[in-house]
Amino acid sequence: MKYKRILLKLSGEALMGERQYGIDPKILAEYANEIKQIHDKGVEIAIVIGGGNIFRGVAGASNGMDRVQGDYMGMLATVINGMALQGALEDKGMLTRLQTALKIEAIAEPYIKRRAVRHLEKGRIVIFGAGTGNPYFTTDTAAVLRGVEVHADVILKGTRVDGVYTADPEKDKSAVKFDYISFEDVLKKGLNVMDTTAFTLSQENKLPIVVFDMNKKGNLLKICEGENVGTVVNI
């Protein structure tokens, strides 16, 4: 396998499937199957999942809610998604641990870097919930931060599109996809890969990012086997 240890970033919105909000059990099961394929090959897997299918702090703030309060609500939404994904993975026979940046001892371990690394070494899938534990930071930033901390080889960002394009392919049919692009070129061209804080953290720590379509079956396994899927962002 090309990558020994990965940090998989999933969007909360993807869990909605065809629904307007919440979690679609069918999507959860599909994701669990995709993750099992690479887990069975010996890849060490850490996961960060967003909470946009339940609540977004930015959206709450735009409607007059206190931003800090809204962001903490968003962190709790990621914990709910983490628990749902944990259940789906365990249904497929995988061992998991949910660690959270906020202390919620009844349902999850507190995030401890050394403990997380030990779980990964033992073949357990570690799900990181509650973002960084701080308001004003996105789950993209949490994903890169945790990826750097646990020495992941790569950030795999699963999205609805199959890579990074010159423009939004859902709006501009003439948009061209990049197979490979440098961090520097992403910034020069003003492309949207991750939020600025997450992207800069990844660049400074030389941690590559692969943006790919998580909803296409087999993509996750192909990436881990070294096939050219999605867009690789690297130095």
Could you read off the pLDDT of 89-112 as tens digits, one per residue?
999 999 999 999 999 999 999 999
134 in a labelled binding site: yes
Kindly give, in sequence order, each residue whose CB lies less than 8 Å from that of residue 222, ignoring residues fewer than 6 positions away.
229
pTM comes to: 0.95
51 in a labelled binding site: yes
For residues 141-164, average pLDDT: 96
Counting every residue, how long is the chain?
A: 235
| pLDDT-based confidence at residue 59 (cuts at 50, 70, 90) | confident
185 in a labelled binding site: no
183 in a labelled binding site: no
10 in a labelled binding site: yes
168 in a labelled binding site: yes
201 in a labelled binding site: no
The residue type at 146: R
74 in a labelled binding site: no
The residue type at 194: M
11 in a labelled binding site: yes
Alpha-carbon gap, residue 143 to 18, rounded angstroms: 25
β-bridge partners, 99: 109, 128
165 in a labelled binding site: yes
- Reduced to 3 states, what is the DSSP secondary structure of residue 66? coil
| pLDDT-based confidence at residue 161 (cuts at 50, 70, 90) | confident
- Please answer whether residues 50 and 150 qualify as being in contact, where contact means their C-beta atoms are separated by less than 8 angstroms: no
- Reduced to 3 states, what is the DSSP secondary structure of residue 93? coil
226 in a labelled binding site: no
